[in-house]
Structure 1
């Protein structure tokens, strides 16, 4: 019995040994599922929060993480993004009525170059237990050969604090803000982005003219929202006057500026397989600033101005629903309005049709066709006619463009824009039409 027990134990040990020897082979032949790790995912929380557009991540920059500088900064909660946007416009019509730079009346009348350069730095406060907390500091430098696009400046772009409450139901952002990036934007950028001049004249702050503001956004769910702002308006005389008076952007206010209240309600859903990208929004603004009365310029400035807008963008077709659902064809429109007795632009209409990633070989390129109509204040037009000047009541433009993603962080755009009455209200017979060649570059780092 002892011998039989020993032989049985030896046989059992041999069986276990054969099982253990065969297990590696079994494991090696079994299929493995490896999860792809995005090396840039760690930087997502360091992008600026609260703006309506997606700030590019380090993967779409020219430097990415070369030298480990971005990683070292991220380790202590610091993120950054910088970019330079350069544009050129030139009227191709043979009788373009060239002028001296001092007397240029519209972009492209003379070959016109403009450059805007930005640097945004963020600091992550969520590391201290503040929900989505972030400090944002930014600077902007701009230059153009046509002074009316400027004036040239180097100054503050933003100085802001952001955090969320109640499981991201409520978003708070305050500081020196540029609300053009917080309200009514479009789903695409580039050289054919929506004209927001109708809102800037109503006091909304811009990249070159940030102002003190408090923004609150309430998210009813992951799609429906309501956003309000209490903002110190820019100058009632326009962005040019505001920047001339406050080029650094640090002043609390400018002459005759008041308080601007903005409210926007919207519905926004991101593209997903079988789900179209959609953004519907409508807003109003009320400004207490003191404006010139265009119906009677001899009167003293009067308080009160307002604007309203409605806009929609919808993905009409998905070209790669499973792989990249945001690719496809989009359509959209914008309508903006303001009282003609306070504002030179009384109505602005825009229709747009654009395609993201229309070609499989160019999945990040953008093709756009944009038509717009600007109605000028009837009071300002009548006043110009009374002085014996040539004046027009509308400006119409049709623009086609192609923006190519050439490399990480490098974009280039080219387009043509036909404009009937390219100047503001008054004109000369030689400048009723323009066919502008548009060229732009965008480099991110």
Structure 2
């Protein structure tokens, strides 16, 4: 059979059932019955058209039936809109999960310090009852904590004495408690860049009074703001510059540190601290995000030392104490926070110049008239990051400190420290800290020679090595346990029984 469609011919040959196929010549092909299928082709086209029409009619009928059964059925446009809305809702839910509920308190934390005070998320009360949120709504923030410490020499024949005659912390079981309450007020709500007022109080008690002494008074009264897009930071008030300069706590966290660089040289030179704040104006120039220059014009604490300062001015509200003058502080530093592949690093070097009236240890009988000074260099860097993606600050750190003050005006003339510490070394304990610290304190040779001339046993250096573990037990709760071996724990003079000490220490810090 041959089918013609337009100019094309198709041959269709009828073959009997079970017959063998043989090659067909053109003659034989022409001899076979041939039927034209032009009509058949038209019929097939009609059948296909009718089938498509029936299918469309059937689909329409089914859709109408479904709409009757479900009158709320959405149109295609409405379905698209509904799917888009579901995606938006899911995206919003994911975003809501990522929002930090404590982020709104960040602007209420004390500003302008190197000291790391745990935020509201790391406190025992957090936002219980919505009290912290209610205060934050009117621009008020707070943080308080109590730090309680115990030390005891474990070596036998430690020359136990009465508390009054105790020569160093731990010679007898020694306990102290220090309690703080800080209130902040946010001034940025009034358009003052980063503006903040801080009022803080401090109370302390010591069983060994030279370690303190006991007092209750102010810790801070300050005003803070920034200028020129945070290029300049300004702070004025009664300030504890211990929290602004040098960095004297291993790890830099108020809850996770007990041991650190000896602050004796800094306090001898007149630097203010938490128990002894003094009037000051502080300026910090941020060259960029890392490099800075910090300057302070501060009223010096007593040139006779910390104990004299607290005895003469326990509340801290007096403008000055006898023989105290002005202290000029300057620190240049480089500080970079940990990030993925970027180690946490802090390098700093500073100096202090004090025009107070100091006693000259070389010529102690001469009238007070000498000005004092001190210098320091310190560095801390992250040696290894243990959790780069989740918390870049976790890892192993190393650091050192070197301090110097002239021996004719200061009992402590030199101080050296090496430290190795780890933050969050264990995945199961990401907020714990381990520290090993070695120190060497060098006494003024003028003071040592004077004591030796009186027939005393004297030592020119005091070496120590300490190992501590700080456990973060719960939000706002830290426990610190450690041992310190100290060669010559007393100041300059000693007895055979007080030549060495192995102090066990335990302390707790609770934040609210």
Q: Same fold (TM over 0.5)?
A: yes
Work out whether 1:363 is the aligned partner of 2:430: yes
> Structure 1 80/30 Cα, relative in aligned 2: closer, same or farther at 3 Å?
closer
Match of 1:80? 142
Q: Which residue in 1 is equivalent to 2:78? A: 20
| 2:112 counterpart (50, 69, 94) | 50
- Aligned partner of 2:400 in structure 1 is 333
CA shift for structure 1 position 94: 1.1
Task: Could you tell me which runs of 5 or more consecutive residues in structure 1 were left unpaired when the two chains were aligned.
Answer: 1-6
* Kept after mapping to 1: 8 A contact 2:116/2:252: no
1:302-360 superposed Cα distances (whole Å, 9 cap, x missing partner): 23000000000000000000100000000000000000000000000000000000100
Aligned to 2:252: 188
1:312 aligns with 2:379: yes
State the 1:26 CA deviation. Answer: 7.4
Tell me if the contact between 1:48 and 1:136 (Cα under 8 Å) persists in the aligned partners. Answer: yes
1:253 is displaced (CA, Å) by 0.2
Deviations 1:73-99 (A, max 9, x none): 100000000000111000000111100
Between structure 1 and structure 2, the one with the greater Rg is 2
Stretch deviating more after TM superposition (182-191 or 137-146):
182-191
Secondary structure, aligned partner of 2:457: coil
Q: In the alignment, what sits opposite 1:4? A: none
The residue matched to 1:73 in structure 2 has which SS?
Answer: helix
The equivalences for 1:39-118 within 5 A come to: 39-118=101-180
How many Å apart are 1:31 and its aligned residue? 11
2:431 paired with 1:373: no
Match of 1:140 in 2: 202
Do 1:236 and 1:290's aligned partners in 2 also have CA atoms closer than 8 Å?
yes
How far residue 29 of structure 1 moved from its aligned partner, in angstroms, is 7.8
TM-score (norm 1): 0.95
Query: Quick one: distance in 2 between partners of 1:285 and 1:29?
Result: 61
Match of 2:294, SS state, is strand
Give the corresponding residue for 1:37: 99
The one of 352, 362, 374 aligned to 1:285:
352
The worse-fitting range, judged by mean Cα deviation, of 184-193 and 198-207 is: 184-193
CA distance in 1, matches of 2:434, 2:374: 30
Deviation for aligned residue 1:54: 2.5
Contact 2:152 2:503 in 1 (8 A): yes
Q: Who is 1:403 aligned against?
A: 470
Deviations 1:186-219 (Å, cap 9, x if unpaired)? 4334121222111111000010000000000000
Q: State the SS of the aligned residue for 1:265.
A: strand
Flag the structure with more relative contact order, 1 or 2, with Cα contacts below 8 A and sequence separation at least 6: 1
Corresponding residue for residue 127 of structure 1: 189
Equivalent position to 2:328, from 246, 249, 261: 261
Aligned residue in 2 for 1:3: none
TM-align CA RMSD: 1.9
Aligned mates of 1:115, 1:363 — CA distance in 2: 27
1:301 paired residue among 346, 356, 368: 368
Structure 2 match to 1:234? 301
Q: Does the 8 Å CA contact 2:114/2:252 hold for their aligned counterparts?
A: no
SS of the aligned residue for 2:309 comes to helix
- Compute the displacement of 1:151 (Å): 1.0
Provide the residue aligned with 2:213 in structure 1. Answer: 151
- Could you give the per-residue CA deviations for residues 99-124 of structure 1, whole angstroms, max 9, x where no partner exists? 00000000000000011000000000
Cα distance change on mapping 1:29 and 1:160 into 2, 3 Å = closer
State the distance in 1 between where 2:295 and 2:84 align: 61
Residue 453 of structure 2 corresponds to 386
Partner of 1:202: 269
Alpha-carbon contact 1:191-1:438 (below 8 Å) kept: no
**Residue pair 1:164, 1:172 contacting (<8 A) in 2 also:** yes
